Amino acid sequence: MYIGGMNRKPKTINFWVGRLPHWEVQGGRYFITLHVAGAIPQTGKNQIRAAAEQQRKIGTQHAPDWLKLQRRIFAEMEKWLDRTPNNPWLQELSLAEMVAEAIETRRRRGRWNPFSYIIMPNHLHLFAEIPDGELKAVLEDFKRWTGHQAMKLLDDPPARFWQKEWFDHWSRSDQQDDRILKYIQNNPIKAGLPDRYRQWPYFFTQG
């Protein structure tokens, strides 16, 4: 399923590094992963941070090895999120429904255009186009609002609902668009969730 456009080489708008790198481009379509706080154990965090540190040493995000390390960070993160049962708060229907409604509300307001998303037990995958220069502001607002609402819905709320940072990767071509859409669709199967999860209502794809 191609959304449109060919290989893309957009202008960089912003690039910043926290614990993870974040690269914002003009007309960007971003594959974003948010996970709940504590979903990844310390061993996994250490491995992700080690790969992120290697990226920082490369010095430029345009180097071939930079993108290889970006893929490694994502693969390491997904391995832990899919295999560990830590803090599966989003399998609660009330929380999943709240997050899905927050995504839709921001779509109606023009804050982003979601192509697809899925709410997994301890993380969210979202593929969306976000207006230029607004990636950080939009995600911080989304995390802040949904995190605050989650605290009201949980019987024993934690100190923080979402992990401090998120993973973002901008899609560079039609082919990457298609791979991202298929990844989101197949994530429950890849994670080994029960068959009933394939009918989980909190999966969305455009078209």
Please report the domains of the chain, with CATH numbers, ordered by start residue: 28-39+88-205 (3.30.70.1290)
Number of alpha helices (DSSP H) and beta strands (DSSP E) in the chain:
5, 7
pTM: 0.90
Residue 135 CA to residue 132 CA, distance in Å, equals 7
How far is residue 91's CA from residue 202's CA, in Å, rounded to a whole number? 10
Q: Smallest Cα–Cα separation from 172: which of 23, 28, 12, 34?
A: 28
Which of 204, 191, 181 is closest to 4 using CA atoms?
A: 181
Residue pLDDT, tens place only, 73-115: 999 999 999 887 789 999 899 999 999 999 999 999 999 999 9
What token pair was written down for 159? 């100190």
Contact call for residues 150 and 92 (beta carbons, < 8 A):
no
Rounded Cα distance between 93 and 123, Å, is 14
pLDDT tens digits, 147-202: 999 999 999 888 999 999 999 999 999 999 999 999 998 888 887 775 655 566 67
Cα(178)–Cα(174) distance, integer angstroms: 6
